[in-house]
Chain A
């Protein structure tokens, strides 16, 4: 095996481990802010479960595997089932997730601009969300079960002399308006602030995981 993506849920903690050749190369743990090891996991019941799985591949209680990962580039969206969805390096951009927990079909959009496009370009919030929704329904998701979570729209500039750089909050408003217009419930959001984000979506439990570029992880 070259690489597994593990989702482990034990007691009050949840973690995603991305592994390559049985070595953990990335971890997203919901307890990392209170854990003394931070991101350099050494030993706890979560990591021990992961390690024992990698030794003998026998599934034990509280461990599930994902079928891969998909990353949406700027202005793109990606849809998958049991696949870890990602958008990386969000500044003013927003990562919008739509998911139908009953079928597992989920999508993530990397929104760059507020408003709608004249010719179907998915870099615009409204166009991206509506196209992704349509596409998910085509693939078998049920409209009535679809909910959303989103994060991004930061204002990373500390000293700013260009008005045009203030686009993050406009993106966030546009995303929210589109979701309300399409009657999609918003279960969680994390927008604004001054720090960039990497956003991951775990379709197995519907959690949105935000890793701030300057450290810190938030599970929503």
Chain B
């Protein structure tokens, strides 16, 4: 199994490229969905210790959508974690429905579906352009501070390593919508990436 701590620059670069392509297509999907221009921030890949994870995220309440990723052999490849700050998630639902008010359930399933669409386009792009197959699970949804949402996922990853790799970027449109997108790869995905590099 790959040791996350000892990844080469090259492997991190390939991972970053995968994230870039995925996030780029997620941005296109969001743009079509909202019929607005979407900007994408310069993505970052960071290797960090799990104990410092809470410093990586914003501290405000978000609507968080978590999607598990698998490869064709049903091995865990990692997780996509999409964070919608409260104001942005309300704004997205308002834009999509053209309503100012909607009930909680409608709002939650809307955000889940947006998360679903973004993750599907992320995964499609990774298969089309990188030949890395990522099959998304149905989304799980929570509203809380980012660390509280993600710590159960992190506990899964912590059984294998004290380190975590985080690919992070944000999508924004107009001045009132901002979405944070993070990819937390499992060692399996990094192995797939290494295999891919050997073929080149």
Is B140 within 8 A of A157, CB to CB?
yes
Q: Which residue of B lies closest to A113 (CB)?
A: B155
Binds A, one of B30-38, B146-154, B178-186: B146-154
Q: Do residues A156 and B149 form an inter-chain contact, with CB atoms below 8 A?
A: yes
Partner of B148, one of A91, A112, A166: A91
Q: How many residues of A contact B (CB 8 A)?
A: 33
Q: Interface SS of chain A: helix, strand, loop or mixed?
A: loop
* Interface residue B75 (Cβ < 8 Å from any Cβ of A): no
Known contacts A91-B150, A92-B155, A213-B145: A73-B54 contact under CB 8 Å: yes
Minimum CB distance partner of A121 in chain B: B162
What is the interface residue range for chain B against chain A? 20 to 34
Nearest chain A CB to B83's CB is how many angstroms away?
13
Determine which residue in B50, B108, B145, B146 has the highest number of CB atoms from chain A within 10 A of its CB, and name it.
Answer: B145
- Whole-angstrom distance from the CB of A126 to the nearest CB of chain B? 15
Of residues 105 through 159 on chain B, the ones whose CB sits less than 8 Å from some CB of chain A are 108, 112, 137-156, 158-159
Q: Is the CB of B141 within 8 A of A159?
A: yes
Docked complex: B16-72 residues within 8 A CB-CB of A: 49-54, 61, 66, 68
Quick one: closest B residue to A114, CB to CB? B155
- Measured between beta carbons, the chain B residues less than 8 angstroms from A158 are 108, 141-143
B153-187 CB mask vs A (1 if < 8 Å, else 0) is 11110110010000000000000000000000000
Shortest Cβ distance from residue B140 to the other chain A in the assembled complex, whole angstroms: 5
Chain B contact residues, CB within 8 Å of chain A: 49-54, 61, 66, 68, 108, 112, 137-156, 158-159, 162
